[in-house]
Amino acid sequence: MLARMAICGIDEAGRGPLAGPVVAAAVILPRKGRPKGLDDSKQLSLEAREELAAKIRAVAIVGVGVASVEEIDTINILRASHLAMQRAFHALTQTPVAAIVDGNMAPELPCPVEWVIDGDVIVPIVSAASIIAKVERDRMMTELCAQYPGYGFSKHKGYGTPEHQQALARLGPCAIHRRSFKPVQDALQAQLQLRAAG
């Protein structure tokens, strides 16, 4: 049973990629029976992250929020990240009395908010949120890979790897590429120049 005076941890995944949504998670963990081995999701193997995500979901209250590519391109990635965090917070089935957010800025929430730099490493509830956000976003990008073949989204999850940049140059941007990001703008411009020359 979770405490009445619950505090949630909030983190996001997907601020840096060239494609796909930004996904946030809000997590309230019980005081006892927390999964062992919580760590920043970026430092865990895929298998360890998915295993921990299942253990977290088994004992925690979890809310997930998403901001779309269109929202990222319209309001910018920072505001879209905060929007996803707000949506994750409001998706919780229990209202926390406070929130701890990873990073150096936090969204407006209807409770006191504390931001912690490297919170995904040093605060267990934020680590749990980081893991859930990363697993959820990875799943979404794997599903989007089937809709947009040729880019390798299931492999690099939209990050600007050499493989992704090569596919972007070869195929041009697709519907889930962030047109507000310079590498995508450059690829779009190159594609338009090729069409104009041909």
Work out the percent of the chain whose per-residue pLDDT is above 70: 95
* Residue 171 Cα distances to 142, 148, 168, 190, angstroms: 19, 11, 5, 11
Over residues 86-107, the pLDDT tens digits come to: 999 999 999 999 999 999 999 9
Over residues 163-187, the pLDDT tens digits come to: 999 999 999 999 999 999 999 999 9
Query: Closest by alpha carbon to 21, among 66, 65, 74?
Result: 66
Mean pLDDT of the 115-132 span: 95
| Cα separation, 67 vs 140, whole angstroms | 12
User: Does residue 69 have a pLDDT over 90?
Assistant: yes
User: Does residue 76 have a pLDDT over 80?
Assistant: yes
Question: In terms of pLDDT, which residue wins out, 190 or 56?
Answer: 56
The pLDDT, as a whole number, for residue 198 is 65
Q: How confident is the model at residue 1 (pLDDT cuts 50, 70, 90)?
A: very low
Mean pLDDT of the 20-35 span: 95
**Structure tokens given for 29:** 């963990």
Average confidence score pLDDT of the chain: 94
Assess contact for 50 and 35: CB atoms under 8 A: no
User: Does residue 80 have a pLDDT over 60?
Assistant: yes
Phi, psi of 41 (to 5 degrees): -60, -30
Mean pLDDT of the 10-15 span: 98
